[in-house]
């Protein structure tokens, strides 16, 4: 199950809405909504996320949270480590091999580490030599 799928299922339960009724409101099939909830479909489109927000009356922080969950809900993640260090490549491979065995507290700790990591600075473009600035 993906983060978006879990939240979608919780929203349906909170509002006492059947899968079939939500599907009708979103103008998609019940099978598609079920696949989203179970993590068998990729991350939903921005348009569908907006529709879900409309159906459940989500605004401001709740709508933003749902959008963030949608962006984090790719059920089949591919990590391109080309150009990364051997250590980074090894980490990606170890995570892929062991993630299903990690206890919830370890997963939470890894999230905390990633939340505190500062993004790498973007390289600055240099002016061409000899040009007046």
Same domain, 39 and 9: yes
Instruction: Say how far residue 117 (Cα) sits from the centre of its chain.
Output: 18
CB count in 10 Å sphere of residue 122 = 6
Q: What is the rounded CA–CA span in Å between residue 5 and residue 102?
A: 20
Spell out the residues 6+ positions from residue 6 whose beta carbon is closer than 8 angstroms to its own: 37
Sign of CA dihedral 22, 28, 33, 36: negative
Q: What is the structure's pLDDT at 89?
A: 93
Contact yes or no for 24/18 (Cβ under 8 A): no
Q: What is the rounded CA–CA span in Å between residue 111 and residue 66?
A: 18
Same domain, 67 and 91: no
Residue 81, CA atoms < 13 Å, CB-side half-sphere: 13
Same domain, 12 and 64: yes
The two structure tokens encoding residue 70: 């949608």
20, pLDDT greater than 90 = yes
Q: How confident is the model at residue 125 (pLDDT cuts 50, 70, 90)?
A: low
Same domain, 47 and 96: no
Domain count, the chain: 2
Q: What is the structure's pLDDT at 108?
A: 96
Q: What is the rounded CA–CA span in Å between residue 58 and residue 56?
A: 6
The predicted model scores a pTM of: 0.73
Same domain, 61 and 94: no
In a domain, residue 39? The reply is yes
Q: What is the structure's pLDDT at 129?
A: 58
124, pLDDT greater than 90 = no
Same domain, 58 and 105: no
Q: What is the structure's pLDDT at 126?
A: 64
Same domain, 51 and 94: no
Same domain, 56 and 98: no
Same domain, 63 and 96: no
Q: What is the structure's pLDDT at 77?
A: 87
pLDDT tens by residue, 101-116 = 999 999 999 999 999 9
Q: How confident is the model at residue 120 (pLDDT cuts 50, 70, 90)?
A: confident
pLDDT tens by residue, 25-78 = 999 999 999 999 999 998 899 999 999 999 999 999 999 999 999 999 988 888
Range of the domain at 33: 3-71
In a domain, residue 47? The reply is yes
């Amino acid at each position: 199950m993906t983060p978006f799928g879990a939240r979608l299922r919780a929203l349906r339960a909170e509002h006492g809405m059947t899968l079939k009724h939500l599907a009708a409101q979103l103008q998609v099939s019940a099978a598609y909504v079920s696949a989203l909830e179970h993590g068998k479909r990729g991350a939903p489109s921005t348009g569908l996320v907006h529709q879900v927000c409309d159906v459940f009356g989500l605004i401001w922080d709740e709508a933003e949270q749902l959008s963030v969950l949608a962006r984090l809900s790719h059920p089949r993640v591919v990590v391109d480590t080309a150009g990364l260090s051997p250590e980074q490549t090894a980490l990606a491979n170890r995570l892929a091999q062991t993630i299903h065995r990690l206890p919830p507290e370890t997963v939470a700790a890894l999230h905390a580490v990633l939340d505190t990591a500062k993004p790498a600075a973007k390289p600055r473009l240099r002016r061409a030599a000899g040009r007046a600035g």
